[in-house]
Structure 1
């Protein structure tokens, strides 16, 4: 099982999360691309740390929304969204190459991630951007989403993702951050949930029902309260259950 986290989300002198500590735990790093978070120096340094620790680099593309941290919907024209996403992948790929590796997968961020679960026009734009930049790049997304279905139809490799520290609705979508139960903060509970997810492919949804979740990668958000402790608990819980932690994407250059 792959473990991933959103990293490189500081900006200038403002720091968010403990990227160095997270890179000692996860196997894949979703690194911001400067549109929802991250400045060039922060992103380069994050890429360098990832390479030093053997962590695979992914481009976390998002809406052009620094003020809202990419968590506000933007009604893009498809052509504009495609261009913005290609720009972001290329920028991070350049920094990753300067650090000694390259971008090996793409994961949408925040509002874009949630929008393309159902919004087929924007989902198609993300697929088109990845395909035009590099059709060999895998894409990470929510199981059953319009995004992953369209990506598979386009010949892209799709990777199904689960969220360790987020609540789930009965339909398998994430509980809105504006609603109770959206964020989970008990490391032991979260680790137990993820062991169940990997071994039984089920989770308990916010309404108490049991739902089926198929996942190839687990995300622990780097900006969650106690993120490092949460990630360590998930990692150690999985290892104790006999699960091997490894990246879904291979080494780059």
Structure 2
């Protein structure tokens, strides 16, 4: 047994639907600007700029249920609904035609963003870590394995705040579908079991306030509901 100088952190994990088992999380990759309408609402040209990638810590993933804390250092916390891909195989330089073979399952998550912090980082050409990678910044619902959900390529993606629809789109609107995203990531790093990919968000992102009830889902994959805690 390895002798650590301090106790190691608990393994980050996300629930599996209809099971007591959990999916251990290794890394979290997020795709930026993967829906054209969202790219445009953020002031970018989706026909000229391909999606890009950023990461969140594994332990930023928390259940998309109960309460989710409002983070410090922001007055402009934004929601971004996403389909989540759970990787169960390993691969480097994977061809798009083979990429779905690495997928263990799918879920629904939210990329929470400190938008005011991100705006400052953009203006100063600084990394987005503080805007994207804070505690509890990646709520995720239970995962469904491929043998139950298949490989969704179309279906409604939606998010409501206090019963009002904020975001709505369809998986078939992705600029890069899941297979292409996996293939592209694998050109830069070796994907391994436990990796999660948040695949991008449709238009309609907006601010959350303490006490807001946030619901959302991806057709055929799952849905969630959580309440935003008071500001710290």
- The TM-score bracket by the shorter chain reads under 0.3
Higher relative contact order (CA 8 A, sep 6+): 2
Larger proportion of helix: 1
Give TM-score, length-normalised by structure 2: 0.23
TM-score by length of 1: 0.22
